[in-house]
Chain A
Amino acid sequence: MTNRVQCQVNGAEVSFEGRLDEPLLLALRNRLGLKASHFGCGLEQCGACVLSIDGQARYSCALPVSFLDGASIVTPEGLADDPVGRALLEAFDAEHAGQCGYCLSGIVMSAFALLKANGSPTREAVIEALDRHLCRCGAHGGILRAVERAAKGLAEASR
């Protein structure tokens, strides 16, 4: 096993050395200071830690860094650099899509992966993409409207 992992985080080359069994979430937060992605359970049950990894929405709270050699990772901090990410951030704000907002770090990344793969998802597809995420404040309605608003805005912009 190599003792060095190289990957891209929000477009920048990053290398991790030392303990490579460390979960990606902790490495991002504590080694790189990227704090937007959150620890909710450490058990891949709540979705607060979901990131976009090679275009897939994946849990990061129990995913060892060693699995990420060559991966391209997007965290919430990187969303503003991408038109889909920007559309989502604006839409979540505009729809008041969140209350405490702690779960949104993961939800917005699942929405990002969804809209990258499917620019005009149905309501059912959005629900399916977000169903592994827990929100305790009950902001579900606003969140669904925000993802749809972002998709609609992007579709109109590309017309």
Chain B
Amino acid sequence: MTAASTPKSLKDNPILARWISFEVPGKVLIRPGKVELGQGILTALAQIVAEELDLSLGQIEICSADTAVSPDEGITAGSQSIEMSGASLRLVAAHARAELFQTASRRLQAAPEILSCRDGVFFRGVEPVGLDFWTVAADVDWTKAVEGPIAVRAAADYAIVGTSPLRLDLAVKISRGGYIHDIALENMLHARVVRQPFRLARLTNADTAWLSKHYPGVELLCRQDFVALVGPDEFDVQSAQADADAFLTWSEESGRWQPAQTAGEMRAVIRDGEVPLSMTNLALRARYSRGYVAHGSIAPSCGLAFYEHGQLSVWTHSQGIFALRDQIAACLGFDVANVRVVHAHGAGCYGHNGADDAALDAAIIAIDHAGIPVRVQWSRQDELSRAPLGAAMSAEIGAALDAAGSISAWRMSVVSAPHAQRPGFGGHVNLTSAEALDARKLPGRVEDLPDVAGGGASRNAAAIYDFPSHEVCVALDTSSSVRTSSLRSLGAHLNVFAIESAMDELAEIAAADPLEFRLRHLRDQRCRAVLEGAAKISGWPGSRLAAEGQALGIGVARYKNKGAWLAAVAEVTVDEAVRVKRLWLCVDAGLLINPEGARNQVEGGAIQAISWTLKEAISLENDRVPALDWQSYPILRFSDVPQIETRFIVDRGSPPLGAGEASQGPVAAAIANAASRALGVRLRDLPLTRERLIQILTDS
């Protein structure tokens, strides 16, 4: 079998040595540019390489991504790691295998076809020939570029891919640690940054006398509006940070913050409309919304940095070390060649959280402490309140039905805060301390992610259904000063929730079963299959009201309209609160590299979506984010988690698709559809908290 096309990351980094090394006898070192975020990606990538090279998994060693040596594979986001890095590493391994076989056959003066290998040892028939990968690797030119077609193992022959070996990193992490937080460099200084309490807040006073009296071991570092507390003892700096109100004064300077410009409303006619949508004769016109959502990593962000002789090294749990390197260099006036950024494992981030910011924090402080390593850790409150938030959004849907009860025209209008403000995006630094050092670093213009990257606010704004007339408009709303950026699934969460809620509302108007109504408008066969699969395992029909205040709801989407398909059925009870009792998921993510890893991603995404849907939204106070903790920003607990049953539809011949962002939209919709049915009142605004229920019931 020959691989069809070269993935972008391999085109960008074609040299074999960039990806793979046989320098350590018995081991194969691989260097993915994608990073471990808790999604188990390194294990899955190791499986792919072990498969192509006939190695055991234990022979694969993975180097953490490092701007000095690793291939630049962009940001680890958008469920692209298996699709991109996996495809690149498969081709790299196949090329390496071909080179090793050719070299071995030259040495043996035998045709490569009569050789085989196992665990890196060459055989002729059942006899070892006295050569292995490592003895012949010295004769291979690893500076060669990967070019041309190459035979890869046929999916039908996979022995390691498609199984679920133990995670390479999990056991060690539990019993010994191994996160960036756990790195202790010699003579390391601890630091805490006192964040600006709102965007572009001005530091007006710092009472150093108070600080040195109460915390003699803590040094105050002020650069414009950047304030750090630095010292050898972590408890000291942590305590001083908690007391920051006692010695720091902030003020608001009117007009200092200005909203970013945007392109305005972008209108896309998705399909040629045969039936123009009249906004007067609509069967449904409804607006759906969600608030700001925190990434809510369990670990507060952390960064380490070391500066000496003009060279800056930074350790980070960022999703994009290359972009971060470039922006740290730009922000601090370094040549990119003098900045090295190394990935270290962090806790799950679920998108662009405080990781990048913490890295710049550490770099700023390290430059001021040449020759001494610096470790910065954020507080819980800053992690929830000062990291970029998931964007608040709304979507208005208007739809018309024909005489037969099918949708004749559909128009959706999305308004959203920006989803794409990662370091470097839009030509901006996009790091919070960059703005503290220089208020002019505030982004002046913000765009949505382009459709080629899956879109941001526009992600999944186009419904997967076949409507005769279908129009989508997307506009960015930059009127809030709150920093927003990518949170798992970006706009797909609200857009799919809105589309799938409207489909339920329209089904009800058309007096149709919600499943049947969806299938009526759906030609995509794999989408139909996951819908029918979810219906089957859940015992749909959804009209079933098993008990008072209890109902089923359904939702479906194909992530980005080009990724994995997922249908969800939720069984929900509504009494004083909405509770999800059971959840059934049917997924088509193509070939599963590691089925348990895929299940973890799908079910974990679903549980996070239940949390967003039932509990999560940040209420701004005068356009400011209040200092939050887990009491004021509660998330789902063990006792809230439903029983989940997941079924994968697997066609080994279909390319693997990322699974971590497929469930958020369909699960939110399934819950809201079930809760609306159980309650007899339509719920269109997330989250579905107790307070929201009371308000809705009072209004109706």
Q: State the A residues within 8 Å of B (CB).
A: 19, 22-23, 26, 29-30, 33, 35-36, 38-43, 45-46, 48, 76-77, 79-80, 89, 92-94, 96, 98-105, 108, 127-128, 130-131, 133-144
A-B contact pairs, 10 of them (CB 8 A): A26-B235, A35-B177, A41-B300, A43-B380, A45-B380, A96-B166, A96-B600, A99-B604, A138-B606, A139-B600
Q: B377 in the interface, Cβ–Cβ < 8 Å?
A: yes
Q: Is the CB of B298 within 8 A of A102?
A: yes
Q: Is the CB of A134 within 8 A of B38?
A: no
Q: Is the CB of A137 within 8 A of B604?
A: yes
Contacts of B184 in A (CB 8 A): 30, 33, 35
> Distance in Å from the Cβ of B322 to the closest Cβ of chain A?
22
Q: Is the CB of B607 within 8 A of A39?
A: no
Q: Is the CB of A140 within 8 A of B607?
A: yes
Q: Is the CB of B175 within 8 A of A40?
A: no
Q: What sequence of 0s and 1s flags, for each residue 125-149 of chain B, a beta carbon within 8 Å of any chain A beta carbon?
A: 0000000000000000000000000
Q: Is the CB of B635 within 8 A of A134?
A: yes
Say whether, besides A38-B299, A139-B600, A80 and B175 are in contact (CB < 8 Å): yes
Among B234, B235, B298, B636, contact of A48 (Cβ-Cβ < 8 Å): B298
The CA-CA distance from A40 to B379 in the complex, in Å, is 9
Q: Return the chain B residue nearest A22 by Cβ.
A: B235
Say whether, besides A127-B639, A138-B603, A42 and B175 are in contact (CB < 8 Å): no
Which listed segment binds A: B342-350, B474-482, B674-682?
Answer: B342-350
> Distance in Å from the Cβ of B360 to the closest Cβ of chain A?
21
Which residues of B, 139-183, contact A by the 8 Å Cβ criterion?
Answer: 164, 166-167, 169-171, 173-177, 179, 181-182
Q: What sequence of 0s and 1s flags, for each residue 626-665 of chain B, a beta carbon within 8 Å of any chain A beta carbon?
A: 0001110001111101001000000000000000000000
Contacts of B300 in A (CB 8 A): 39-41
Apart from A76-B176, A96-B596, A135-B638: 19 A-B pairs, beta carbons within 8 A: A19-B235, A26-B238, A30-B184, A36-B176, A39-B181, A41-B300, A41-B380, A41-B629, A42-B379, A45-B630, A46-B298, A96-B170, A99-B348, A99-B604, A101-B170, A102-B38, A127-B639, A138-B608, A140-B641
Contacts of A94 in B (CB 8 A): 166
> Distance in Å from the Cβ of A132 to the closest Cβ of chain B?
8
Q: Is the CB of A40 within 8 A of B638?
A: no
> Distance in Å from the Cβ of B486 to the closest Cβ of chain A?
16
Most buried by B among A41, A89, A100, A142: A100
The CA-CA distance from A18 to B574 in the complex, in Å, is 54
Say whether, besides A137-B604, A138-B603, A36 and B166 are in contact (CB < 8 Å): no
Contacts of A103 in B (CB 8 A): 298, 347
Q: B37 in the interface, Cβ–Cβ < 8 Å?
A: yes
Q: Return the chain B residue nearest A37 by Cβ.
A: B177
Q: B40 in the interface, Cβ–Cβ < 8 Å?
A: yes
The CA-CA distance from A128 to B600 in the complex, in Å, is 22
Q: Return the chain B residue nearest A105 by Cβ.
A: B174
The CA-CA distance from A105 to B181 in the complex, in Å, is 13
Contacts of A105 in B (CB 8 A): 174, 177
The CA-CA distance from A101 to B638 in the complex, in Å, is 16
The CA-CA distance from A137 to B644 in the complex, in Å, is 15
> Distance in Å from the Cβ of A155 to the closest Cβ of chain B?
22
Contacts of A101 in B (CB 8 A): 38, 169-170, 173-174, 347
Among B39, B175, B234, contact of A36 (Cβ-Cβ < 8 Å): B175
Q: State the B residues within 8 Å of A (CB).
A: 37-40, 164, 166-167, 169-171, 173-177, 179, 181-182, 184, 233-235, 238, 296-300, 345-348, 350, 377, 379-380, 596-597, 600-601, 603-608, 629-631, 635-639, 641, 644
The SS class assigned to the A binding surface is loop
Most buried by B among A130, A131, A138: A138
The CA-CA distance from A97 to B151 in the complex, in Å, is 36
Contacts of A108 in B (CB 8 A): 174
The CA-CA distance from A33 to B186 in the complex, in Å, is 12
Q: Return the chain B residue nearest A133 by Cβ.
A: B638
Q: Is the CB of A98 within 8 A of B631?
A: no
The CA-CA distance from A133 to B637 in the complex, in Å, is 7
Contacts of A93 in B (CB 8 A): 166-167, 170-171
Q: Is the CB of B175 within 8 A of A38?
A: no
Say whether, besides A41-B380, A93-B167, A136 and B175 are in contact (CB < 8 Å): no
The CA-CA distance from A103 to B235 in the complex, in Å, is 21
Contacts of B596 in A (CB 8 A): 96
Q: Is the CB of A134 within 8 A of B637?
A: yes
Q: Return the chain A residue nearest B596 by Cβ.
A: A96
Query: Which 6 A-B pairs give the minimum distances between C-beta atoms?
Result: A100-B38, A138-B607, A138-B604, A102-B347, A35-B182, A100-B348
The CA-CA distance from A101 to B567 in the complex, in Å, is 27
Among B173, B175, B630, contact of A134 (Cβ-Cβ < 8 Å): B630
Say whether, besides A99-B604, A137-B604, A92 and B174 are in contact (CB < 8 Å): yes
The CA-CA distance from A29 to B607 in the complex, in Å, is 31
Q: Is the CB of A98 within 8 A of B379?
A: no
Among A43, A104, A138, A140, contact of B174 (Cβ-Cβ < 8 Å): A104
Say whether, besides A80-B175, A134-B298, A135-B298, A30 and B234 are in contact (CB < 8 Å): yes
Say whether, besides A131-B637, A136-B296, A136-B298, A104 and B604 are in contact (CB < 8 Å): no
The CA-CA distance from A137 to B167 in the complex, in Å, is 15
> Distance in Å from the Cβ of A142 to the closest Cβ of chain B?
7
Contacts of A104 in B (CB 8 A): 173-174
> Distance in Å from the Cβ of A113 to the closest Cβ of chain B?
15
> Distance in Å from the Cβ of A22 to the closest Cβ of chain B?
5
Contacts of A26 in B (CB 8 A): 234-235, 238
Q: Is the CB of A100 within 8 A of B347?
A: yes
The CA-CA distance from A32 to B348 in the complex, in Å, is 26
Contacts of A23 in B (CB 8 A): 235
Q: Return the chain A residue nearest B609 by Cβ.
A: A138
> Distance in Å from the Cβ of B647 to the closest Cβ of chain A?
15
Contacts of B296 in A (CB 8 A): 136
Contacts of B238 in A (CB 8 A): 26, 42
Contacts of A143 in B (CB 8 A): 638
Contacts of A46 in B (CB 8 A): 298, 380, 630
Say whether, besides A45-B629, A104-B173, A141 and B603 are in contact (CB < 8 Å): yes
The CA-CA distance from A127 to B641 in the complex, in Å, is 10
Contacts of A39 in B (CB 8 A): 181, 299-300, 377
